[in-house]
Structure 1
């Protein structure tokens, strides 16, 4: 049953146009607002280390963004606070990110951050300041379905900005206390609303990169981070082999590869080669032709169900295996207490361990898990 809430909402303000517009919209609707920014990572922390820029500016979660969020809050005349969550962000997001790459998997830090930190801590802080709910600038929709007695997460009107893939881990409690005011709008409409409210960030570009990896070079970040920690990269050098098992070269470490990768393999071939498999135990990296990088099945664990309480029998869904992947038709079935198998109608390219698999039924998010 839907809960009854007070009139105070905590707005997660990132300093970007989306969350700023959310604050303006909700203020116009008469809500009492408090702006909150989670300070997650010190952008100057690794500056100047080998391969890392001396200065990092204009990025998600940067000091520039905190400044922009505070400026918007002042313009809207709402209280504003910065909450330091750097220690937990490092523990729950950065450390797992590094560990996953060193194990030959490809993590998604944005999903880890949403699942384990942002929504959890924002709701905690919201209650501390007297707010029952939070609002974010994510492009998604949620609503309560009395027939199922569940909160349902849905894709937004602007499918080109769909962020439900990163939100598959939200619990029923979190969904019940979260507003996604931009779910029915397109990005151009949001920028227009921001301009109508004379918000200085109306034309601010979107952030495209992982907030703590400047330039998008995760290998250099891992090197710099481990150096700072006084640790060394484990020796995972090994063989590059063909799908027939023939040794065709050597590599310097499995963290340099991800499934489906084509460039930087370190071997020459008359035809393009792609990473097919990464074996953490043997340190072998298998490469092959593009057609060999496809599969019809995946397994996923650490499941979270949204539109259903649990999966009984089989279910037809459309499965999304990375953020830019077009969901593909598949059949789901449970293969263990916390493990599901998806069998695709058509082979899918680069099913990558460590990424999320998110399952859709029409516009609804059925649930999701982490690819094994």
Structure 2
């Protein structure tokens, strides 16, 4: 699971530092580049709800294997010297990550029910590490391979390692067994306010994450940083996420619910964004640390909420499909909005205000989703919030 998690972010974070080179080489407009950053996030939302359906028919283990194969093929396709394949490969990458990322919380809940929240922090830390590697190594790999295409393709090697390890070591559901765990219907789940509160919190915090993945280096270039320094500042921020990704679920256990932990991490996100985009240049490293701590913690807690707000693994799988499907679809609007703002040549103040508004919406839904509530199925088979 950790090796799989390590592959779910480099495909996204490795693209942002190379956007200027891709645009110069392909002649794509700023709006087309914005669409390129939005496409994988939109695919996360579109394909995530398919994960429970595929898992029911093929089993979660086989479905995750196919997702890794699709990820590898997508990474190779988008590095081909043909612009339509750049978009097709990016679509495949987003679809694969959407399915794989949705399956992991349910697998954790099934395999390690007692420590599901802490294990969620462990594989979230792997996601953050993968994101940091993608952001930090993209430019060095492009220099080493003398081009951005081989730099993007090189991440398929990491996917191959994860695929071999997963096929070899994955848990195997015995054939012929039936799952008696009640999960309720998706229609019932859609009628639960708690499910939507988790979904919108997931969407707003993910929107901020993919804005950072897609546009932070570009925004930092506008502030006067070099291409290399902008890439490393983003990589450092993603690397700091390792600390809070692992620590936030532990911190959330200290209180009666997760609201104090959610407030803390979202406050760090707001402070980090302001310092990096509007604050004094001398404070950029403080901004990097705060942004990293906030985003690592907010994402880890978003996945933890999926586990904590459900009574069993089937419910966790369905809530994961809804929260990540609906959440990532909502999140896709963030990178696209920043692309439009840059196309309109608005100032950094307006862009920062837009990001802080998204943080404020995330805080509102975090206060609802963070309460001590849980989705469960009563003896009559009806879904209820307890």
Query: Is TM more than 0.5 here?
Result: no
- Higher Cα radius of gyration: 1
Query: TM range, normalised to the smaller chain?
Result: under 0.3
Larger strand proportion of the pair: 1
Give the TM-score normalised by the residue count of structure 2: 0.21
Give the TM-score normalised by the residue count of structure 1: 0.22
Larger helix proportion of the pair: 2
